[in-house]
Structure 1
Amino acid sequence: MKTSATALCAGAVALSSFSLGAEAARRHYRNHHHHHPPQLPAAPLRALPYPQVPLPFDIPGAQYLPLSWADVKGWGDDNHLAAYKTFRASCRSINAQNGSAEPKALGGSLSEPCRVARSLEISDDAKAKTFFEENFAPLRISRLGEPDGFVTGYYEPVLEGLRTQTDVYNVPVYRRPSNLFVRGYKQDSLSLPNKGPVYRKIGRRKLVPYYDRGEIEDGKIDGRGLEIAWLKDPTDLLFAQIQGSARIKFDDGSSVRLNYDAYNGYPYTAVGRILIERGIIPKEEMSMQKIREWMAQNPDGAKELRRANRAYIFFREVNLSDKEEAVGAQGIPLTAGRSIAVDKSLHVYGTPFFIEGELPIESERAKTPFHRLMIAQDTGSAIIGPARADLFFGAGQEAGRVSGRLRHPMHFVMLVPKGLDPSVRAARLPVPDPRPSEKIAKLFPQSDPGKGTAKPAAVAGAMDNKNETVAIAGPVPLPVPRPAMEPASEPQRPVKKRPLRQQ
């Protein structure tokens, strides 16, 4: 593509300079002749050496390998009907966008498979499998230079809490403060972004960075009526913020569902990584449960560790029953075991990913085969890269135990809509010009620019028994990629001198 782009630019320069030269010649003719030349039909523009072809499917920092369905390990063993139902749920949001422009690689191409899915009422696993095979092409994807992707897990915590503060329940869960400001968004916008700077408004115009976790824990926003509920353990709040949602059950049997609403503008720092770097917990033993155990045994160290992660999450109440799962960033309830969070700057919600490998599902040391078609329906500030996913496992303690021990490399196969099949689009790309024949190459040898310019040589020889000499051309210098083109100067009209007027 770089060669094609260079040729296109060079061709454009040549055409523009040709037009400038032609215009200068016409002006020169009009200045020196009294009559106008006959109007001749304009010569057709020469075609550029390389046609303008749309860029093929592209995700920054990723490498791909088109596959056949037979090459996708474990594809035939999955529950395709469950994946189809999850994909169809995403289509509700995709169809509601009315084909709005999407700048990422898939663009709006998912609207066509969604149109097909909307017309089908599938209740059979084989038909669901056929749907994906007929409407998508499998594409192995990973970060550039790496063979695999990487997965972690997340869940929705179920916590005990109170509506009012007590000596035991004294950890506040805050809603978004009114003085939190993000450029480009209204202060009452629904669900502010989880990346980029966040400010605190002072007066009408002055903006300063928002409070970090330590300042908020020290009471900087206390007494403003922002408390949704009160918990008894700051570690519970930390993990609810990491997960992005929570269910809080009160002593009267009622409950409240919370979802991510905003953050304070500081990058997320993984507390587990800090414990690994300090040699407190070995990397191979790291899990959410290990972090909880260490924090419970070291209250002072836990406070310092929490504050090392300066990011702080604010929640909003959502109207969901206990039977419904948390709502993801796509705006629809997630599906346990089928929904994933991806890097929203690279991927489009609704994209199917087939993830294959081994995970410790049954126990910490288990190697459970995992080959499952997942649907991108959520995102997270720590989910960065083309083959990076957070697997959603549902709500409760068991889901927390499973998701808390996942930090594993896995194979990622991205399902690309047939309209964006990279192998089909790549076939339309132009090929380079053919190399010159061996005979022509000998007549016009090229010198190595790094070793100086070779001197031309002339060799006399007999041809067909006649006294004729033939000069063999010396090396022909290659043209510069984009020659500097000086604009044609307009010829000056001769100035006719007039005699001075007599006084």
Structure 2
Amino acid sequence: MRTPLILSALLLVLTVALAGGGSDAHAAPAPLFPQAVLEPTRFSALPGWAGDDHLKALATFRRSCAVLARKPDLVNPPRRVFTALRPICARAARLPKRPGEAAARKFFEREFRPYTITALDKPDGFLTGYYEPEVEGSRTRSDVFATPLYARPRDLIIETPPGGGPPTNKSGAFREVDGQRLPYFDRAAIEDGALGGRAEVVAWIRDPADAFFAHIQGSVRVRLPDGEVLRLNYDGHNGQPYTPIGRLLIERGLVPREKMSMDAIRGYIAAHPDEGRDLMRQNRSYVFFRIARELTAEDGAVGAQGLPLTAGRSLAVDKAIHVYGTPIFLDAELPTGPDGASQPFERLMIAQDTGSAIIGPARGDIFFGAGREAGTIAGRVQHPGRFIVLLPRALDPARARVPLPRPRPAIPAALSETR
């Protein structure tokens, strides 16, 4: 039951406010998760925990650990979760290469404590899905393959985020003309030829809608006529605002909200090519790609943590709140069964990616893999879910301040194409 914990959190908020907002240098540590409520639970109380594949979760966690060991946190000083994960990663590295299912489960139960996490102003979490498209294409233009996927333009300037760190898909992007910085070209301008010779084409594909969805997903596999697969990954964006076209279809009464999915969007574009082209151009955002030569055909897309994602185990999260590498257990009913049938999704995930629409402590995007089938499943997912974050046992959430709540943007429903 959450009510007592929420009341305690609100009392703590009031205490902080009366004390001047916690500005005293000797106040409690900053909150582990801003704008969130943590409720302790037990592993034995998690639906599906005992039957999960902890070996797969451990393998995914170890991949994140390799990055945690060699790279600093996204912020300086590093967050306490980041610092606490590093010694756990060292102990994970000392486990046998194939420790067995029981040992993998025991590892997570020994090293972490589970806490249900929710936003202060929302009782439930929210889940969507994403995938890596696979399309046919060519290195050269032809009558069949005439839609370009561009490399990063030579004149594109992407801002460094405040506080440092690598640029993100929320960073501003510009071009310089006569010593002045101007907004970079939007989607319509680029499609009309504004890039000129500023960018190379990394691949030509058949369908403009496939290019559009590749931009949204941030990666794509291009299968060439000789069978070779080009792995293309995100390498920058134009800095223009992202508009979910699923929302436009709903607002215009063209697709009912309850029937909105990625397949519904594709179906509308295919049935109405001219209107579909104009609809896609309403999304001014545009993404550029690089050939990921370090990836094999078996590797997943590269996430924001900088490593290949694992289908069904990698989770995109709000990186301003969660630390990459954090284990998060999901408890939800999702349409992942045959013909979209609902079934339990009770699985230990690892935070390894992010997205511009992933905002909040209990907001996640599940990576479902590559290809059309994965895309169909991912496009159906827009559902509530329970988020249980596994915190290192060295941390004590009770010592963390709870910040005063601020208004939060509503998470749009039925926008399965949003990343």
TM-score computed with the length of structure 2 as normaliser: 0.86
CA distance in 1, matches of 2:368, 2:143: 33
Q: How far is 1:405 from its partner?
A: 0.9
Structure number with the bigger relative contact order (C-alpha 8 A, sep ≥ 6) is 2
Q: Residue 105 of structure 1 contacts residue 347 of structure 1 at CA under 8 Å; is this kept in 2?
A: no
CA distance in 2, matches of 1:399, 1:354: 21
Higher strand proportion (structure 1 or 2):
2
Q: Which amino acid aligns with 1:274?
A: L
Q: Residue 157 of structure 1 contacts residue 245 of structure 1 at CA under 8 Å; is this kept in 2?
A: yes
The residue that corresponds to 1:383 in the other structure is 358
Q: Residue 57 of structure 1 contacts residue 105 of structure 1 at CA under 8 Å; is this kept in 2?
A: no
SS in 1 for 2:69: helix
Identity of aligned residues (%): 48
Within the candidate set 227, 232, 243, 1:253 is matched to: 227
Q: Which amino acid aligns with 1:145?
A: D
Q: Which amino acid aligns with 1:419?
A: A
CA distance in 2, matches of 1:308, 1:225: 22
Q: Residue 154 of structure 2 contacts residue 199 of structure 2 at CA under 8 Å; is this kept in 1?
A: no
Q: Which amino acid aligns with 1:321?
A: T
Q: Residue 59 of structure 1 contacts residue 105 of structure 1 at CA under 8 Å; is this kept in 2?
A: no
Q: Residue 171 of structure 1 contacts residue 231 of structure 1 at CA under 8 Å; is this kept in 2?
A: yes
Distance change >3 Å, CA 267–CA 59, structure 1 → 2: farther
Q: Which amino acid aligns with 1:113?
A: I
CA distance in 1, matches of 2:177, 2:378: 41
Q: How far is 1:333 from its partner?
A: 1.0
Q: How far is 1:281 from its partner?
A: 1.1
Distance change >3 Å, CA 271–CA 363, structure 1 → 2: farther
Within the candidate set 49, 53, 58, 2:32 is matched to: 58
Within the candidate set 82, 89, 102, 2:63 is matched to: 89
SS in 2 for 1:373: strand
CA distance in 1, matches of 2:41, 2:123: 15
Q: Which amino acid aligns with 2:29?
A: L
Q: How far is 1:3 from its partner?
A: 4.2
The residue that corresponds to 1:214 in the other structure is 188
SS in 1 for 2:170: coil
1:280 aligns with 2:250: no
The residue that corresponds to 2:239 in the other structure is 265
Q: Which amino acid aligns with 1:247?
A: R
Range 219-228 or range 100-109, more displaced: 100-109
Distance change >3 Å, CA 97–CA 303, structure 1 → 2: same
1:131 aligns with 2:95: no
The residue that corresponds to 1:228 in the other structure is 202
1:363 aligns with 2:343: no
CA distance in 1, matches of 2:160, 2:380: 38
Q: Residue 159 of structure 2 contacts residue 167 of structure 2 at CA under 8 Å; is this kept in 1?
A: no
Q: How far is 1:347 from its partner?
A: 1.3
The residue that corresponds to 1:178 in the other structure is 154
The residue that corresponds to 1:25 in the other structure is none
CA distance in 1, matches of 2:166, 2:30: 33
The residue that corresponds to 1:485 in the other structure is none
Within the candidate set 334, 342, 348, 2:309 is matched to: 334
CA distance in 2, matches of 1:346, 1:385: 7
SS in 2 for 1:161: strand
Distance change >3 Å, CA 148–CA 7, structure 1 → 2: closer
Listed one character per residue, the Cα deviations across residues 182-238 of structure 1 (whole Å, up to 9, x for unaligned) are: 2338xxxx97421032111114x3100001111111110134451111112110001
Listed one character per residue, the Cα deviations across residues 268-326 of structure 1 (whole Å, up to 9, x for unaligned) are: 21111111121111111111111111100101111111111110000111111112111
Aligned length: 385
Q: Residue 102 of structure 1 contacts residue 108 of structure 1 at CA under 8 Å; is this kept in 2?
A: no
Q: How far is 1:132 from its partner?
A: 0.9
Distance change >3 Å, CA 279–CA 346, structure 1 → 2: same
Q: How does 1:311-330 map to 2 (within 5 A)?
A: 311-319=285-293, 320-330=295-305
Q: Which amino acid aligns with 2:64?
A: S
TM-score computed with the length of structure 1 as normaliser: 0.72
1:406 aligns with 2:418: no
Q: How far is 1:253 from its partner?
A: 2.1
CA distance in 2, matches of 1:7, 1:294: 56
Distance change >3 Å, CA 198–CA 225, structure 1 → 2: closer
Q: Which amino acid aligns with 2:317?
A: V
Q: How far is 1:168 from its partner?
A: 2.6
1:68 aligns with 2:35: no
Q: Residue 223 of structure 2 contacts residue 230 of structure 2 at CA under 8 Å; is this kept in 1?
A: yes
The structure number with the bigger radius of gyration is: 1
Consecutive unaligned residues in structure 1, runs of 5 or more: 13-50, 430-503
Distance change >3 Å, CA 240–CA 4, structure 1 → 2: closer
Q: Residue 137 of structure 1 contacts residue 421 of structure 1 at CA under 8 Å; is this kept in 2?
A: no
Within the candidate set 141, 148, 168, 2:117 is matched to: 141
